[in-house]
Amino acid sequence: HSKLILPLIPPSPPLRSRAPMAAAAAISPLSLRRHHRRRDKVVVIMGATGSGKSQLSVDLAALFPSEIINSDKMQVYAGLDITTNKISPEDRLGVPHHLLGSVDPDAGELTPSDFRSLGQSVIGDISSRQKLPLIAGGSNSFIHALLAERFDPDADVFGGFDSVSHELRYNCCFLWVDVSFQVLDDYLRKRVDDMLHSGMFEELVRYYDPCRVDPPTRTGLRKAIGVPEFERCFRRRPPRRWDTWAGLDPLRRATYEEAVREIKDNTCQLAKRQIGKILLLKEGGWDLRRLDATEAFRAAMAAPGPGKGLKWAEIWDSQVLGSSTKIVKRFLEE
Ligand code: ATP
């Protein structure tokens, strides 16, 4: 495919896994192979931004021989790894990730149709190696395009639940990681602060091009939350090459704080829209299994400093990973 620029990340042996019951729940590749004569089995992890989809995908990959396919619209592109929240190479624990940072952002926007054909070939490839494809990411239009038996690029899938495709071209197990909106809203606002302290601002300063004039509608990676918000502020008060978020002069900080407020609001709006689309898919007949991660996220909010803390991990393992493992195990045995 002409939009693919980077080779797929080669499989590497899994590093230490956080998931405790790896050996017990692992399934044999044979039980997967049995089903290949029928439609390929795929597990789809859905949820709003920040709800822990990447974590769950890596946790499940430690239990079932699988590979992960990213379905986040912005994370498919190379670049802006912090701003778009790509799972870090260390956190991937050696699990192969596909369509993650592998598309050239300057080669035009990746459409749902493009994603459908790229995803199809990756699923075929993973399944042929007797591994389970785990799809994880927040773009519901990408997920719908990939899974629908018949795909109409001109249809507005989220115009109403009767436009949702009932017939799917894979045998799907849908996991929906849900967090009560108030808790998620607080968490997402804190996450933006954590991202700024992890280098998001410096990444956007490097990405900023003062000579660039965007057309009225931006495309691809330039739509990522953070890019337009900071650009507007940078135009008013240009950043200097050496500026860091922690070391900003008070004048610039005051201006840039405006962008931060917008980023927090836009991220929460995105989460709300994504939840709306997930509910529509559910109403449209998709058998989504809801996993409530609210308690885990409450614990994450109570933990001091960056990161989610030990209490989070304990609740996550028992409430989210535990239920998901049972669901996936049953699905693979069917
Ligand atoms: P739509 O049909 O509105 O395009 P979608 O479900 O296909 O929705 P979303 O994943 O909801 O796609 O993305 C919509 C917008 O949200 C993106 O264009 C971008 O502005 C922002 N966005 C999504 N994911 C990210 C991300 N990882 N980082 C930054 N911004 C993002």
Among the four given CATH numbers 3.40.225.10, 3.40.50.300, 3.40.718.10, 3.40.50.720, the one describing domain 22-180+287-333 = 3.40.50.300
Whole-angstrom distance, CA of residue 177 vs CA of residue 61 = 16
Q: Is there an atom of ligand 1 within 6 Å of 169 CB?
A: no
Q: Which ligand 1 atom is nearest residue 80's CA?
A: 28
**Comparing C-alpha atoms, which of 152, 166, 172 is closest to residue 38?**
172
**Mean pLDDT (10-residue bins), the chain, 334 residues:** 47 41 42 58 98 97 98 98 97 97 95 97 97 97 96 86 87 98 96 95 94 84 96 93 91 93 98 96 95 96 84 94 98 95
CA of 228 relative to ligand 1 center, distance in Å: 13
Q: Which ligand 1 atom is nearest residue 274's CA?
A: 11
pLDDT in tens, 108-140: 999 999 999 999 999 999 999 999 999 999 999
Amino acid at 176: W
CA of 261 relative to ligand 1 center, distance in Å: 18
Q: Is there an atom of ligand 1 within 6 Å of 224 CB?
A: yes
Q: Is there an atom of ligand 1 within 6 Å of 141 CB?
A: yes
Whole-angstrom distance, CA of residue 110 vs CA of residue 114 = 6
**Which of 111, 139, 140 has the most ligand 1 atoms within 8 A of CB, as the residue to mutate?**
139
CB under 8 Å to 305, separation ≥6 — which residues?
none
CA of 36 relative to ligand 1 center, distance in Å: 33
Q: Is there an atom of ligand 1 within 6 Å of 139 CB?
A: yes
Q: Is there an atom of ligand 1 within 6 Å of 146 CB?
A: no
**Which of 45, 140, 225, 273 has the most ligand 1 atoms within 8 A of CB, as the residue to mutate?**
225
Among the four given CATH numbers 2.30.40.10, 1.10.1750.10, 1.10.287.890, 3.40.190.10, the one describing domain 185-267 = 1.10.287.890
Q: In the prediction, which pLDDT does 162 show? A: 76
Whole-angstrom distance, CA of residue 26 vs CA of residue 62 = 8
Amino acid at 195: M
For the question of an ipTM over 0.90, the answer is yes
Burial grade of 302 (CB within 10 A; 0-12, 13-18, 19 or more): exposed
Q: In the prediction, which pLDDT does 217 show? A: 83
Q: CATH 3.40.50.300 spans which residues of the chain?
A: 22-180+287-333
Cα–Cα distances (Å) from 291 to 161, 253, 321, in that order, read 22, 39, 9
Task: Return the axis-axis angle of helices 250-283 and 227-236, rounded to nearest 10°.
Answer: 160
